[in-house]
A and B are shown apart, each in its own frame.
Chain A
Amino acid sequence: MKTTGWRSLILYIIGAGFLAGIIFFICSYFIQGGSWAIRPSNAHITNNGQLTYSGEITDRDNNLLSYSEDGVQQYNDNALIRRATLHVVGDPNGYISTGAQYAFRTQLSGFNPITGVVSPLGNSITGSNIQLTISSDVSAAALQALNGKKGAVAVYNYKTGEVLCMVSSPTFDPLNIPSDIETNSAYEGVYLNNALSSTYTPGSIFKVITAAAAIETIPDLDSRTFYCSGSTIINGETITCDGVHGNVNFQNGLAQSCNIVFAELAVELGKDTMTKYAEQLGCNTNFYLDGNPNKMSSYNVEEADENSLAWSAIGQYTDTVNPYHMMILMGAIANGGTPVNPYIIQSVTNSIGLQTKTGKTTYGDNMLQQSTAEELQQLMRYTVSNYYGDSMFPGLQVAAKTGTAEIGENKIPTGWIVGYSEREDLPLAFAVVVEEGNYGRNSAGVVANAVLQKAAALYT
């Protein structure tokens, strides 16, 4: 019987398995319970997929953007603001999954791990209020400047990480949902936040990435002279340039956006170096905004020949980039190589007035050596001051690069501008993309100026 005694210890193996499992479950409950409970199908808290009661969403100036009452979503009084902030706030049906109403529904619903989704008092629970970092006025200015064109505007403070503006077009008024929203091609992709969840062919803005690779890899870059006759043959096929730049050095090659300069650099750098730098600068990587992932920028030259490699270095070939990623890249350059991670939740305040979460400045992975970042700063500033002209951004000291991305025969190119303001009191990095915008300078550039001017007027 003695042996029976010690052999019965085998039960402890099952007991240990049980304990491990139950502890794992309890821990998961405290970590993820909120996201388990707050689902559109949870009958305790939702009514037709919307939170029955939810906290308020406000912007950085305490303008009320949205709240929910008896299962009906309420919004700001101003139709322009409703449309400009739609993709950040969310739509009444919860289709925009990155919208705050949906993405932060755990906080808004007032779930807490002690009482779950019910109140011991028996009355309906009231959720936490969320203050966002965005400015509804700047957002409205951005939407107006887009002037009905599809596209995206993303602006953030590269020193603190606060996202000041994130506007996506097409958009709609959540209080007057258009009846033809599902059929009208003007509303195609309306449920995507283009700044976060779309990618576009980059065109010449990609030259910033190629330039970073060249600066760090080719020692005598600044003393070189390139020759542009308007086109060149690489691997039997033509690479064309928008102009005939003649003898041109690297600095003016970027400023005048000469394709020949960057095509030749790409061939010299090779696939591996190009891929290494594209990835180091954030391609093929996800970036997050308070837990929401972006759509990855993509750079893939695995199957490219030399000609295609050359096109990839000037933002064509199969390259696609995400505006949110471009904004962060600009922040990294402005910051000397390491970006500040953007955030959009300024604070979460629960129903008894306690702040349960506040936005904090955190740093991302280093992208560039400090010297490279500084050279890029100088190059991009030179591009604006000597080539576009500071009259494009009066009083803003902007460093930037535009792009005009070809997207196919008989299609109007996509206009881009990425950059940042050097002003100490206006540390904003931005990325603007305008579909069918044609020249980036005339389309996206104008939008960027309007947005920055509004921000400068309101917050400096």
Chain B
Amino acid sequence: MFSSQVFESALSITMFVLRILVPLLSTIVLVRCFVSLKRGRRKEEPVVLLEDLASGLSIPVLYWENSIGRSKSCDIVLPDSTCSRDHAVLYRRASGWIITDTNSKAGTYVNDKKIKEATQIIPGDVITMGTSRFALRRVSEGTVIQQKKKIKQPKISNKKAPSPAGLLGLTNVIHLLLTIQCCFAGGQFNALPFIPFALLLAMSWGLYLISRKLLGRVSFEIETFGFLLSGVGIMLLCAEDFSLIYVQMGSMLLGLCLFGFLIWFMGDLKRVMKARLWIAIAAIVLFAVNLVIGTETNGSKNWINLGFISIQPSEFIKIAFIFVGASTLDKLQTAKNLWGFLGFTAVCLGALMLMKDFGTACIFFITFIIIAFMRSGSIRTILLVLSGSALGVFLILRFKPYIAERFKAWRHVWEYADTTGYQQTKVLMYAASGGLFGVGLGNGYLKDIFAGDSDLVFGMLCEEMGLVMGVVVVVAIAMLILFARNDATRSRSTFYSISACAAAGLLLFQTCLNVFGATDVLPLTGVTLPFISLGGSSMMAVWGLLAFIKASDERTYAVRRKSK
């Protein structure tokens, strides 16, 4: 009797220590991932030069895509009144350097021939824009060697660069600590949680070997990040009910495939730009199908039941939405208006409104704002769209007051604890019960509340793993905007920059809606928490969105080129 008490106390203390270690180690992994990404970034050095044939001065070409023109916002500014504000775009693709005229008045000439479409140029070629004449020059012996040096350089200069394998290993350790907690959930030892652990281990090292050895990619930060968070979510679900992890882990595997496919797909920007129209059409068709044969769950008609499995089309349309919105610089400079994308957005938002999925509609709207701003840079347009939509919301609330009724418990949840504030009060109650380090995996009660492991999962995370871990997880997702911004000017195209920023912003905004909705900081809208919530479609889509951020890292495609 006495010894069993001592054993129970020792076990309890061990579990408590593990619960303190997990957020600590997670923070280390996240910070190291970010440091590694930051250090892997190319320095702002010119790849090629444009030599002004009149003055003999050289203008460095700093980016993968460069706008040229009279406007101050151009990457290469031509102080030449005969040039257009946005005259041409000089960009680099796998085949080499390409110049395209962006509807300039005076036209662009290569070796004194007026160009009509995108034209490949090689060092030594002479470009004429207005009265300015430039020759393309290499910086030194060869760009390929130059670049290889640049990637290696910071690694040598930094004492301790985080090793990708080390970080992934540490992530596995975190998962192991969670697995051990999971094994003791409910007081009885149970070895089953080692199955998802083994699967996570296999998936992570499988992807690692494919990515590093087979494809020769240098970086692995984004993947490590994704594995860390997905593993936390899977262990949380495993402690709730072992049977939940089949779908979750299956979806994660499919998500990894989607991740790989999208990175391959985005490798050829020409292909992407051609496919955009079809992607848009497919997205609209999918919405239409959803509206016709969709099933209604919890007030929102956003599911398609395929018999053996239910999918949530709007999750995948998020990916399509970013594809349709993002664009390469040459296309941005020629087609400046947003009408096409605006129309597509309107169709998406309309469909989501019809499904009564207001949370997802908000997510699409914010993603639209990010993309629209990154494309146009026009604060006026954004303000116009914002005030227009504010009017729209006002009209909707005016004529359909029952929608406002859904949100009346907001900031008064305790007064509506038996009705519309029920879920939020449970989240607050059980999240607070966990304190900073949680009551332990599987020991919570929020999982018994409806949507506890999806819309309210932040509460469950806080209850079982503690507020510290909950905050670490959501701050990690917030860090994606740093990841995306890190590569905003270094990526191989504005397409990657815009899509990465859109994906990061989308994930962060969705996180805000989920976390703040559940905790009554914002009205509850019922969206999932990326990586953590139960839901196959959500899990797959999140990995698909990560592909955008991965693709914006120029190293993703760098070494593959070399090995060709």
- Report A's interface with B, CB cutoff 8 A: 1-5, 7-12, 14-15, 17-19, 21-22, 24-26, 29, 33-34, 36-37, 39, 41-45, 111-123
- Report B's interface with A, CB cutoff 8 A: 8-9, 11-13, 16, 62-67, 73-75, 329, 366, 369-370, 373-374, 377, 425-426, 428-440, 443, 445, 466-467, 471, 474-475, 478, 481, 484-485, 488-489, 494, 497-498, 501, 504-505, 508-509, 511-512, 515-516, 519, 521-522
Chain B residues near A24 (CB-CB < 8 A): 521
- A15 to B485 CA separation, bound complex (whole angstroms): 12
Q: Name the residue in A7, A11, A21 with the highest tally of chain B Cβ atoms < 10 Å from its Cβ.
A: A11
Which residue of chain B has its CB nearest to the CB of A113? B435
- A3 to B75 CA separation, bound complex (whole angstroms): 8
- A7 to B497 CA separation, bound complex (whole angstroms): 10
Contact assessment for B474 and A22 in the assembled complex, using a CB-CB cutoff below 8 Å: yes
Q: A18-B508, A21-B515 are in contact. Are A34 and B432 (CB under 8 A)?
A: yes
Chain B residues near A9 (CB-CB < 8 A): 485
- A212 to B244 CA separation, bound complex (whole angstroms): 72
Q: Name the residue in A4, A21, A34, A118 with the highest tally of chain B Cβ atoms < 10 Å from its Cβ.
A: A4
Q: Which of B67, B467, B471, B488 contacts A5 (CB 8 A)?
A: B488
Contact assessment for A26 and B467 in the assembled complex, using a CB-CB cutoff below 8 Å: yes
- A18 to B477 CA separation, bound complex (whole angstroms): 10
CB distance from B411 to the nearest CB of A (A): 11
Contact assessment for B505 and A36 in the assembled complex, using a CB-CB cutoff below 8 Å: no
Q: Which of A21, A44, A117 contacts B522 (CB 8 A)?
A: A21
Contact assessment for B429 and A41 in the assembled complex, using a CB-CB cutoff below 8 Å: yes
- A119 to B439 CA separation, bound complex (whole angstroms): 9
Chain B residues near A43 (CB-CB < 8 A): 445
Chain A residues near B512 (CB-CB < 8 A): 14, 17-18, 21
Sample 5 A-B pairs with CB under 8 A, ordered by A number.
A1-B75, A2-B73, A21-B512, A111-B432, A121-B12
Contact assessment for B489 and A2 in the assembled complex, using a CB-CB cutoff below 8 Å: yes
Chain B residues near A122 (CB-CB < 8 A): 8-9, 11-13
Contact assessment for A8 and B497 in the assembled complex, using a CB-CB cutoff below 8 Å: yes
CB distance from B372 to the nearest CB of A (A): 10
Q: Name the residue in B74, B438, B512 with the highest tally of chain A Cβ atoms < 10 Å from its Cβ.
A: B512
Contact assessment for A3 and B439 in the assembled complex, using a CB-CB cutoff below 8 Å: no
Q: Name the residue in B429, B432, B437, B521 with the highest tally of chain A Cβ atoms < 10 Å from its Cβ.
A: B432
Tally of A-B residue pairs with Cβ under 8 A? Answer: 156
CB distance from B148 to the nearest CB of A (A): 22
Chain A residues near B64 (CB-CB < 8 A): 1
Contact assessment for B511 and A18 in the assembled complex, using a CB-CB cutoff below 8 Å: yes
CB distance from B434 to the nearest CB of A (A): 5
Contact assessment for A21 and B429 in the assembled complex, using a CB-CB cutoff below 8 Å: no
Contact assessment for A36 and B429 in the assembled complex, using a CB-CB cutoff below 8 Å: yes
- A319 to B56 CA separation, bound complex (whole angstroms): 96
Q: 13 new A-B pairs (CB below 8 Å) besides A2-B489, A33-B432?
A: A1-B497, A2-B74, A4-B497, A4-B498, A7-B377, A14-B509, A14-B512, A18-B478, A25-B521, A34-B432, A36-B429, A111-B432, A114-B437
Contact assessment for B484 and A11 in the assembled complex, using a CB-CB cutoff below 8 Å: yes
Chain B residues near A19 (CB-CB < 8 A): 478
Contact assessment for B439 and A44 in the assembled complex, using a CB-CB cutoff below 8 Å: yes
Contact assessment for A2 and B431 in the assembled complex, using a CB-CB cutoff below 8 Å: no
CB distance from A135 to the nearest CB of B (A): 34
Contact assessment for B435 and A114 in the assembled complex, using a CB-CB cutoff below 8 Å: yes
Contact assessment for A2 and B75 in the assembled complex, using a CB-CB cutoff below 8 Å: yes
- A42 to B463 CA separation, bound complex (whole angstroms): 12
Which residue of chain B has its CB nearest to the CB of A45? B433
Q: Name the residue in B428, B474, B511, B512 with the highest tally of chain A Cβ atoms < 10 Å from its Cβ.
A: B428
Contact assessment for A120 and B12 in the assembled complex, using a CB-CB cutoff below 8 Å: yes
Q: A1-B489, A2-B73, A5-B488 are in contact. Are A116 and B508 (CB under 8 A)?
A: no
Which residue of chain A has its CB nearest to the CB of B497? A4
Contact assessment for A4 and B435 in the assembled complex, using a CB-CB cutoff below 8 Å: no
Contact assessment for B467 and A29 in the assembled complex, using a CB-CB cutoff below 8 Å: yes
CB distance from A334 to the nearest CB of B (A): 38
Which residue of chain A has its CB nearest to the CB of B64? A1
Contact assessment for A44 and B433 in the assembled complex, using a CB-CB cutoff below 8 Å: yes
Chain A residues near B426 (CB-CB < 8 A): 41
Contact assessment for B501 and A11 in the assembled complex, using a CB-CB cutoff below 8 Å: yes
Q: Which of B428, B467, B484, B511 contacts A8 (CB 8 A)?
A: B484
Chain B residues near A123 (CB-CB < 8 A): 9
Q: Which of B74, B435, B481 contacts A14 (CB 8 A)?
A: B481
Which residue of chain A has its CB nearest to the CB of B516? A21
Q: A2-B75, A7-B373, A11-B370 are in contact. Are A36 and B431 (CB under 8 A)?
A: yes
- A24 to B512 CA separation, bound complex (whole angstroms): 12
Chain A residues near B521 (CB-CB < 8 A): 21, 24-25
Which residue of chain B has its CB nearest to the CB of A33? B432
- A39 to B431 CA separation, bound complex (whole angstroms): 13
Q: Which of A2, A25, A34, A44 contacts B63 (CB 8 A)?
A: A2
Chain A residues near B484 (CB-CB < 8 A): 8, 11
- A329 to B377 CA separation, bound complex (whole angstroms): 65
Chain A residues near B13 (CB-CB < 8 A): 120-122
- A18 to B471 CA separation, bound complex (whole angstroms): 11
- A9 to B504 CA separation, bound complex (whole angstroms): 12
- A37 to B435 CA separation, bound complex (whole angstroms): 10
CB distance from A48 to the nearest CB of B (A): 15
Q: A10-B374, A22-B475, A121-B9 are in contact. Are A5 and B489 (CB under 8 A)?
A: yes
Q: Which of A15, A25, A117, A119 contacts B508 (CB 8 A)?
A: A15
CB distance from B465 to the nearest CB of A (A): 12
CB-based closest 9 A-B pairs: A116-B435, A122-B12, A37-B432, A1-B63, A5-B489, A120-B16, A36-B432, A8-B488, A33-B432
- A44 to B512 CA separation, bound complex (whole angstroms): 28
Chain A residues near B509 (CB-CB < 8 A): 14
- A34 to B445 CA separation, bound complex (whole angstroms): 17
Contact assessment for A25 and B435 in the assembled complex, using a CB-CB cutoff below 8 Å: no
Chain A residues near B445 (CB-CB < 8 A): 42-44
Chain B residues near A18 (CB-CB < 8 A): 474, 478, 508, 511-512
CB distance from A224 to the nearest CB of B (A): 52
CB distance from A117 to the nearest CB of B (A): 5
CB distance from B333 to the nearest CB of A (A): 11
Which residue of chain A has its CB nearest to the CB of B5? A123
Chain B residues near A39 (CB-CB < 8 A): 425, 429
Chain B residues near A115 (CB-CB < 8 A): 435-437
Q: A1-B497, A121-B12, A122-B13 are in contact. Are A36 and B515 (CB under 8 A)?
A: no
Chain A residues near B515 (CB-CB < 8 A): 21-22, 25
Contact assessment for B501 and A8 in the assembled complex, using a CB-CB cutoff below 8 Å: yes
Contact assessment for A118 and B431 in the assembled complex, using a CB-CB cutoff below 8 Å: no
Q: Name the residue in B9, B436, B488 with the highest tally of chain A Cβ atoms < 10 Å from its Cβ.
A: B488
- A22 to B477 CA separation, bound complex (whole angstroms): 13
CB distance from A118 to the nearest CB of B (A): 5
Chain B residues near A41 (CB-CB < 8 A): 426, 429
Contact assessment for B505 and A1 in the assembled complex, using a CB-CB cutoff below 8 Å: no
CB distance from B374 to the nearest CB of A (A): 5
CB distance from A37 to the nearest CB of B (A): 4
Chain B residues near A15 (CB-CB < 8 A): 478, 481, 508
CB distance from B451 to the nearest CB of A (A): 17
- A336 to B471 CA separation, bound complex (whole angstroms): 53
